[in-house]
């Protein structure tokens, strides 16, 4: 039974996904560490540093299921060392002759940083897949509602008309930039670490750089070309891209949350089968999923902030920030996985009330076409004079605007009515088409992450 809600069998689904959680599960993490040691031994065998037979034996025996986990735990506590318990357990499995060649010349950070590279590869692949799925759903909304007019809102107040298609296209365009960030960042993030004590690879002499390249190749990771013991920007950047993804999803959620208010009623998140909005107010239908997207993004930003702090390190090794990554990196990955899974359910199931959108355009005494009136009058009496006149007239009697402007002799009643009737959203449709076409071109050429 977990001591944190994020580990609770009852609530874990709110904070992560089974796939993402599996990447950080104890047995998988330990097996990954063992696989890294296997890769190191194989690379060392290729360069003649250890016997090929030893590398083969390590590869066949370095399995979590063969370890005495009680011994590993006890030795970890006894030695106060991050991986010495694991090594002592592995030594028992390998036997004395082979054990002398395991972990040769490597440090804890070589293992854990390389594991971080593997995790960023595997977690990134899950994020990539789910991000593309959410993008596809949002693009579909943009196409379907390309010309559906609704009130644009600024500072929380109804403004000029826009289209729901443009709103969705804005979401899609932002999601596409996150796809680009993931693709562009992958070569920077998905690298290994073999640095030795202070980054010089002194244990291996001149063979060090070649060994690192062979080691990384064994794991399918990039060779960083230089030790990065206290250069933590890779993990910080990866985490911030994930946090930005959750922030975009929270922006979508915030829009749903606001527009689901009954007095607006333009959007509603899909109702979960058997879901209950309130146990005391049965009439309520709460936007729980949209709301939770904001919570997940808040927590993701918090974890990403910790990882930004870890960039401030001292000298050639600094365990303070480095070990903070062990907590914060899994957190931001889990939170992002949960946010994408949630958005992947909410966006395709959105209930969209186009009638409410049309009705709200003219509700609350607003004049949605006022911007068009201003544009036309600006050509006749100048922008600033037109603005002053409209401010005065709309403050006093917005419903009588056509007659009032006619009385001022600046336009006819029919002209003003025509201006007010024009939602002027042709440009919105052009932008929707541009975003959709560009995204589909990119998606058609997209390769696996």
How far is residue 400's CA from residue 213's CA, in Å, rounded to a whole number?
77
Count of C-beta atoms within a 10 Å radius of residue 282 = 9
* Residue 276 pLDDT exceeds 70: no
Rounded mean pLDDT, 21-35: 95
Reported as a pLDDT band with limits 50, 70 and 90, residue 326 is very high
pLDDT 10s digits, 162-216? 999 999 999 999 999 999 999 999 999 999 999 999 999 999 999 999 999 999 9
**CATH number of the CATH domain containing 64:** 1.10.275.10
Would you state the pLDDT for residue 2? 63
Rounded mean pLDDT, 56-74: 93
Would you state the pLDDT for residue 320? 87
What whole-number percentage of the chain has pLDDT above 70?
97
By the 8 A CB rule, do 172 and 139 touch? yes
pLDDT 10s digits, 382-406? 999 999 999 999 887 667 899 999 9
Average pLDDT, the chain: 93
pTM exceeding the 0.75 threshold for the entire prediction: yes
Query: Do the domain assignments include residue 280?
Result: yes
* Residue 8 pLDDT exceeds 90: no
Query: Do the domain assignments include residue 354?
Result: yes
Reported as a pLDDT band with limits 50, 70 and 90, residue 5 is confident
Would you state the pLDDT for residue 275? 65
pLDDT 10s digits, 368-379? 888 999 999 999
By the 8 A CB rule, do 249 and 340 touch? yes
Q: Range of 274's domain? A: 111-193+228-360
Phi, psi of 193 (to 5 degrees): -140, 125
* Residue 365 pLDDT exceeds 70: no
> Residue 209 is encoded by which pair of tokens?
């750089």
Would you state the pLDDT for residue 9? 82
The yes-or-no answer on residue 57 being catalytic is: no
| Judgement on whether residues 301 and 235 belong to the same structural domain of the protein | yes
* In the block, residue with structure tokens 């058997």: 274
Residues in the chain, overall count: 449
Does 5 or 439 have the greater pLDDT score?
Answer: 439
* Residue 133 pLDDT exceeds 80: yes
DSSP state of 281: -
* Residue 278 pLDDT exceeds 70: no
| Judgement on whether residues 43 and 148 belong to the same structural domain of the protein | no
- Alpha-carbon distance values, 78 to 24, 56, 81, 319 (Å): 24, 30, 8, 19
| Judgement on whether residues 291 and 242 belong to the same structural domain of the protein | yes
Count of C-beta atoms within a 10 Å radius of residue 365 = 9
By the 8 A CB rule, do 146 and 165 touch? yes
Phi, psi of 434 (to 5 degrees): -65, -50
Boundary-marking domain end, from 99, 130, 156: 99
Reported as a pLDDT band with limits 50, 70 and 90, residue 367 is confident
Question: Which H or E element spans position 159?
Answer: strand 157-163
Boundary-marking domain end, from 340, 360, 380: 360
Query: Do the domain assignments include residue 7?
Result: no
How far is residue 446's CA from residue 106's CA, in Å, rounded to a whole number?
37
Would you state the pLDDT for residue 395? 83
The yes-or-no answer on residue 278 being catalytic is: yes
> Could you say which of 155, 283, 315, 384 is catalytic?
155
How far is residue 117's CA from residue 120's CA, in Å, rounded to a whole number?
5
SS3 4: coil
> Could you say which of 57, 116, 170, 278 is catalytic?
278
Question: Which stretches of 347-446 are DSSP H helices?
Answer: 354-361, 370-381, 383-396, 401-407, 413-421, 426-445
pLDDT 10s digits, 403-417? 999 999 999 999 999
- Cβ-Cβ contacts under 8 Å for 440 (sequence gap 6 or more): 139
Q: What is 313-368 written as a DSSP string?
A: --TT--HHHHHHHHHHHHHHHHHHHHHHHHHHHHTTT-EE-HHHHHHHHT-TT--T
Burial zone of 261 (CB within 10 Å; 0-12 exposed, 13-18 middle, 19+ buried)? exposed
How far is residue 266's CA from residue 260's CA, in Å, rounded to a whole number?
6
How far is residue 370's CA from residue 416's CA, in Å, rounded to a whole number?
10
By the 8 A CB rule, do 223 and 114 touch? no
Question: Which stretches of 158-283 are DSSP H helices?
Answer: 164-189, 208-219, 233-259
Rounded mean pLDDT, 61-79: 91
How far is residue 87's CA from residue 320's CA, in Å, rounded to a whole number?
23
Torsion (CA) 296, 302, 307, 310 in degrees, nearest 10: -170
Boundary-marking domain end, from 99, 119, 152: 99
| Judgement on whether residues 331 and 406 belong to the same structural domain of the protein | no
Would you state the pLDDT for residue 250? 98
Query: Do the domain assignments include residue 404?
Result: yes
- Residue (of 152, 407, 415, 404) closest to 390 by Cα position: 404
**CATH number of the CATH domain containing 327:** 1.20.200.10
| Judgement on whether residues 43 and 122 belong to the same structural domain of the protein | no
| Judgement on whether residues 75 and 19 belong to the same structural domain of the protein | yes
User: How many structural domains is the chain composed of?
Assistant: 3
């Amino acid at each position: 039974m977990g001591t944190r809600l994020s580990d609770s069998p009852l609530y874990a689904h709110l904070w992560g996904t089974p796939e993402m959680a599996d990447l950080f599960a104890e047995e998988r993490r330990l097996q990954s560490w063992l696989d890294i040691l296997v890769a190191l031994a194989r690379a060392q065998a290729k360069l003649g540093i250890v016997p090929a037979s030893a590398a083969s034996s390590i590869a066949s025996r370095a399995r979590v299921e063969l370890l005495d986990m009680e011994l590993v735990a006890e030795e970890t506590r006894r030695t106060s060392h991050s991986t010495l318990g694991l090594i002592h357990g592995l030594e028992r499995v390998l036997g004395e002759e082979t054990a002398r060649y395991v972990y040769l010349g490597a440090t804890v950070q070589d293992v854990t940083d390389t594991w971080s590279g593997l995790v960023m590869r595997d977690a990134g692949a899950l994020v990539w897949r789910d991000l593309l799925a959410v993008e596809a759903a949002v693009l579909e909304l943009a196409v379907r509602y390309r010309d559906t007019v609704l009130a644009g809102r600024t500072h929380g107040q109804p403004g000029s008309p826009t289209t729901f298609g443009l709103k969705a296209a804005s979401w899609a365009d932002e999601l596409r930039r996150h796809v680009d960030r993931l693709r562009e960042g992958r070569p920077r993030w998905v690298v290994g670490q073999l640095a030795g004590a202070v980054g010089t690879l002194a244990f291996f002499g001149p063979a060090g750089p070649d060994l690192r390249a062979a080691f990384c190749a064994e794991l399918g990771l990039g060779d960083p070309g230089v030790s990065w013991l206290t250069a933590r920007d890779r993990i910080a950047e990866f985490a911030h891209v994930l946090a930005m993804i959750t922030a975009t999803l929270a922006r979508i959620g915030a829009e749903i949350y606001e527009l689901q208010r009954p007095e607006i009623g333009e959007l509603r998140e899909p109702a979960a089968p058997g879901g209950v909005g309130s146990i005391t107010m049965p009439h309520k239908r709460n936007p729980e999923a949209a709301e939770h997207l904001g919570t997940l993004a808040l927590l993701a930003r918090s974890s990403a902030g910790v990882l930004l702090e870890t960039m401030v390190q001292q000298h050639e090794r600094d365990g303070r920030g480095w070990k903070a990554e062990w907590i914060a990196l899994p957190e931001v990955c889990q939170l992002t996985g949960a946010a994408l899974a949630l958005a992947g359910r909410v966006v395709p199931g959105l209930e969209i009330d186009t009638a409410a959108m049309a009705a709200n355009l003219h509700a609350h005494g607003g004049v949605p076409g006022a911007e068009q009136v201003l544009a036309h009058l600006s050509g006749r009496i100048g922008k600033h004079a037109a603005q002053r006149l409209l401010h005065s007239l709309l403050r006093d009697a917005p419903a009588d605007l056509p007659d009032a402007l006619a009385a001022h002799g600046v336009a006819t009643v029919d002209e003003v009515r025509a201006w007010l009737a024009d939602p002027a959203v042709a440009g919105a449709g052009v932008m929707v088409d541009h975003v959709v076409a560009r995204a589909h071109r990119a998606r058609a050429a997209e390769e696996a992450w």
